[in-house]
Chain A
Amino acid sequence: GENVEQHPSTLSVQEGDSAVIKCTYSDSASNYFPWYKQELGKRPQLIIDIRSNVGEKKDQRIAVTLNKTAKHFSLHITETQPEDSAVYFCAASIGGYSTLTFGKGTMLLVSP
């Protein structure tokens, strides 16, 4: 089955800096890659996703890039703010009726 590796497990940055979280996947058939943000005590919420027919997607301060050949994808957050502090999860799936395989998560701490 699919295996998703995520790193780093923790990331501390200063407010205004950029943050990058990286994930690799094992199944070359995977074609859907969402990123979820989970604040302390809350539910995971989708913040951005990308499909394998595109290499990059942006939404304001966040962007996701995908390298299908290398089987890795990354989340980029620019101009970080304290409210970006949370655990971020990457995931992969074949799409359609398949399930998501999640990475272990990255705890991002943005210091004022």
Chain B
Amino acid sequence: DAGVIQSPRHEVTEMGQEVTLRCKPISGHNSLFWYRQTMMRGLELLIYFNNNVPIDDSGMPEDRFSAKMPNASFSTLKIQPSEPRDSAVYFCASREVGTDTQYFGPGTRLTVL
């Protein structure tokens, strides 16, 4: 099994640009989570999908952030427009139905200049 796949692994962009992060969960997993990690705030849950449906997006910082899961094998997190304070590592994680364990992807390190 390839595990959770994220792309790109690194992204450097300028303030105001649109950024799209991508995630492919482990095959057969029906829950998907997007997290943001910074030194100051630790690991924060941004949004959580179950069976492709957003269940809890209370962690999404503001309207500049949006997430979609068009099918069971793909999700995107978009930031438009990006700001320097969005610089962080963004992790995607997935979980199999009926279990508790979340498996994390390698993360995307985002730098907004």
Contact = CB atoms under 8 A, between A and B. Distances in A.
A and B from one complex: yes
A102 B43 contact: yes
A43 B100 contact: no
Given A34-B100, A43-B104, A44-B43, A97 B33 contact: no
A49 B91 contact: no
B31 interface: yes
Interface in A7-26: none
Contacts of A101: 45
- B interface, how many residues as a size bin? 10 to 19
Nearest to B97: A97
Interface in A21-61: 32, 34, 36, 42-46, 49
B101 interface: yes
Nearest to B30: A97
Given A43-B105, A44-B91, A99 B43 contact: no
A80 interface: no
Contacts of A104: 42
A45 B100 contact: no
A44 B104 contact: yes
Given A44-B43, A99-B45, A105-B42, A49 B101 contact: yes
A88 interface: no
Contacts of A103: 42
Nearest to B92: A43
